[in-house]
Structure 1
Amino acid sequence: MSKVPTATAATDKPTGEAPVAPPTAKQPATSLTVSRGFADWLRANRTSFAFTSYQTGQLFLVGVTPNGTVSFNQQNFTRAMGVCYQPGRLYLGSLHQIWRLENMLRPGQLGNQHFDMVLVPRNAQTTGDVDVHEVGTDAAGRVIFVNTKYSCLATLDLNHSFRPIWKPAYISKLAPEDRCHLNGMAMDQGKPRYVTAVSRSDIVTGWRERRHEGGVLIEVETDRVVTDQLSMPHSPRVHGDSIIVLDSGRGQIVRVDPASGARSDIAFCPGFLRGMSIHNGHALVTVSKPRNGTFAGLALDDALKARDAEPWCGILIVNLASGDIVEWVRLEGHITELFDVAAMPNVVCPMSIGPDTMEIRSTITFDATIAPLAA
């Protein structure tokens, strides 16, 4: 195995109440601040995590080094969107491809003395620009993704850009029109169980006139609308007997009863919510600052004003039992919008290698066992 390249931190001058690993390369001006107990929370909950910024086209891996500093590893993937972690593997949706990254380390190995996972891009399936949002895998290991441009769930196809596997009943035709802004997918017991969409529109970009109300949570198997009382919902997740979903237009993490559709608020978050990962009774969520006009007409705008607050860009860790924001990462500067987040249980300090870097050319591993030729 070749020498693993040094990780790149995400800021040129990181600051914070907890120590942050120093950068090794100049980056656009963005500072990261982490809460005082952030590193301890990661260690106590035996996890690291990945998050993405489609705005700047970056994948971040966050962990804790042996000396207790927080490590931010950053690599470029154009329009980085949905991310899905499976043990030793990471799937990442981007502008026109879905990437598969594999851990190159053998058991017991470390990269650069302290990275216990080094993820290398091994495959990129070309889908074309179909606006891939969330990504998951089913019981058979198939990649399932939210194909937002064509208003459907899809899987990969060896010959074509994608193979549709489900669409909402109200969508009359698969067309590249982003009719309802289908965006979130809850995987449960190896299959897609619920999805979110901003509206039930069936015309080109019809959802844009329905941002403030009418957002839906749909049960995939039955096409049943569990609730249509959401505002720009994202990222449904099955949690016990409930569904946790981001009611993004209101700035709330909510709990939904799958039978009745009854909704109860868990926590208000100061920013536009898009991605969520649940780990050990906590929700890791991404919040973003608004683009021009994004919050206009949304309850989130009024909620921020009522709290005399400015929107954040960052990661919030929320206790689902109490609704308390227990730890956080805050980004200030160049990066203002994030997309998805995925917990990486039992990984302490991960890093990745970018697809268009000098490092990937010289990072070569192979199994030295010579396989016999077929008879």
Structure 2
Amino acid sequence: MHHPPSRPHRASRRLPPQALLAIVPPAPVLPAPVALPAGAADMVEASPRLVHWLRARKLCLALSTGESGKLLTLGAGPAGLTVFDVSCEIPGALLLTEKGLHVAAHRRLWRFDDALGDGERYRGTDRLCLPSQCRPTGAIGIQDLAVLESGKLLAAASAFNSVVRINSRGDLKPVWRPAFIDKVVREDRCHLTGFCLRDDAVAYVTVTAASNVKDGWQQAQNGGQVIDAVTQRAVAEGLDRPTAPRLTRNRLWVLESGSGWLGRVDLEKRAFERFVQLPGTPRGLRFVGNHALVMTSGEGAGIHWVNLKTGKTDHRLSLRGSIADAIDVAFIPGETVPRLAGLSFADSGLEEPQRIAG
């Protein structure tokens, strides 16, 4: 993954010089993945029928745990819940790929791909995901990820108040920003927290506040908005730190992190309708079947399987200790728990990125 300095994309050159970062990491090594250390049973606890639910649907989970610096994969093992971990520099937003997983770290965006062929196994699992790509983005505050049909990767970059496209070198090209943001500048003004796609284009975006001054969102209370990306109109206002807008079954769901609510947006009334309040701070949201999976951090941290018909929590995975600062969750199809491996000094955060003049 050694890339010689290259001429930045024309659109990327419009960003300030500090936005253009390139890192040449050492080649990753392959340590043997290990399960969580002694005491893991006290850190991860599944509700009684969760393992059966995962096994019946042939699904595993990947979790990012933020400041604790761990990526977890877990699922239904022969003897119950099986958990593996790998260290990563402040892992955050996750996105499933055809063969693996995108992981947004503090200053890099990793892609893991399955290195095993059909019929191959590694230490009891049929999926071993190794780093296949590292995009050195710098600390741009990636809050959310999505992929276009063309394969181009989009990210919510809170440091630039924009949804950006990230190429293989880590160069950024803004593709959308709120109308109240007058220019693309490296200042977190509105704290853009998430977005979703419809018809292969940015559809809805969440911001913490409609601020056009540096750190203005930190002074705003209940100033969050859900914005229609096409019309630039707010479809819900007055929210307490909205995040993770998700379209499913023609309904727009949003988390209100400040209050703990999962809710829907009535697009005609332009109002946020609360559905169920969860313990902790909601941060990640996925859907499978008739369930919304909500990742919460802090007190009551874990993943909550919210029944979309009843509003009740049918299953729960509780997280304690250092991994309670959970950020995101992703599904990984498979009967055996996949192992992630290969990150080393390249993601330790100890080396400084090299800046490329624009």
Fold shared, TM-score > 0.5 on shorter chain:
yes
Structure 1 residues 256 and 45 mapped into 2: Cα distance closer, same or farther (>3 Å)?
farther
Tell me if the contact between 2:32 and 2:341 (Cα under 8 Å) persists in the aligned partners: no
Shift of 1:84: 0.1
Secondary structure of the residue that 2:324 maps to in structure 1? coil
Equivalent positions of 1:40-189 (< 5 A) are: 40-65=52-77, 67-113=78-124, 115-157=125-167, 161-189=171-199
Residues 253-268 of structure 1 correspond to what in structure 2 (within 5 A)?
253-268=262-277
2:312 counterpart of 1:345: no
For residues 213-253 of structure 1, the C-alpha deviation after alignment (integer angstroms, 9 at most, x for no partner) is 12111122222211113210111110112111101111111
Does the alignment pair 1:248 with 2:257?
A: yes
Q: Percent identity?
A: 26
Segments of 5+ residues of structure 2 without an aligned counterpart are 1-29, 346-358
Q: Please say if residues 31 and 342 of structure 2, whose CA atoms lie closer than 8 Å, have aligned partners that are also in contact.
A: no
User: Hey, what's the Cα distance between the residues in 2 that align with 1:103 and 1:159?
Assistant: 22
Q: Distance in 2 between matches of 1:222 and 1:330?
A: 40
Residues 43-64 of structure 1, C-alpha deviations (whole Å, 9 max, x = no match): 2233111110111122111112
Structure 2 residue 295 is matched with structure 1 residue 315: no
For residue 334 of structure 1, give the secondary structure of its aligned residue in structure 2: helix
CA distance in 2 between partners of 1:236 and 1:337 (Å): 21
Contact 1:256 1:263 in 2 (8 A): yes
Distance in 1 separating the partners of 2:336 and 2:275:
29
1:355 corresponds in structure 2 to 343
Q: What is the aligned partner in structure 1 of residue 44 from structure 2?
A: 32
Q: 2:36 and 2:169 mapped to 1: Cα distance?
A: 37
TM-score (norm 2): 0.83
SS of residue paired to 1:153: strand
Instruction: Give 5+ residue unaligned stretches, structure 1.
Output: 16-29, 290-310, 358-375
Bigger drift between 99-108 and 153-162 goes to 153-162
Q: How does 1:188-337 map to 2 (within 5 A)?
A: 188-210=198-220, 212-289=221-298, 311-337=299-325
Q: 1:279 to 1:222 in 2, by over 3 A?
A: same
> Is the contact made by 2:237 and 2:271 (CA closer than 8 Å) also made in structure 1?
no
Report which structure shows greater RCO (CA 8 Å, sep ≥6): 2
How many angstroms apart in 1 are the aligned matches of 2:182 and 2:225?
Answer: 17
Matched to 1:257, the amino acid is D
Change (3 A) 1:208 1:258: same
What's the CA shift for 1:347?
A: 5.2
| Structure 1 residue 160, shift from structure 2 partner | 6.2
TM-superposed CA distance for 1:324, in Å, is: 1.1
Q: Tell me the number of residue pairs that the alignment of Structure 1 and Structure 2 aligns.
A: 317
Instruction: Decide whether aligned partners of structure 1 residues 7 and 319 sit closer, same or farther in structure 2, where only a CA change above 3 A counts.
Output: farther
Q: Describe the superposition over 1:272-326 as per-residue Cα deviations: whole angstroms up to 9, x where unpaired.
A: 111111111211121111xxxxxxxxxxxxxxxxxxxxx2122222112211111
Rounded Cα–Cα distance in structure 2 between residues aligned with 1:110 and 1:59: 21
Q: Which residue matches 2:25? A: none
Alignment TM-score, normalising by the size of structure 1: 0.80
Counterpart CA distance in 1 for 2:249 and 2:197 is 13
Rate the CA distance shift 1:265–1:279 in 2: closer, same or farther, 3 A.
Answer: same
Q: How far 1:168 sits from its partner (Å)?
A: 0.8
Q: What whole-Å deviation, never above 9, does each CA across 1:145-166 have from its counterpart, x for those lacking one?
A: 0111110011113566311111
**Post-superposition offset of 1:180:** 0.6
Could you tell me how far 1:39 is from its partner in structure 2? 0.5
Q: Which stretch shifts more, 45-54 or 137-146?
A: 45-54
Which secondary structure does the structure 2 equivalent of 1:140 belong to? coil
Q: What is the CA–CA distance in structure 2 between the aligned matches of 1:81 and 1:182, rounded to whole Å? A: 15
Equivalent-residue separation in structure 1 for 2:170 and 2:313 (angstroms): 43
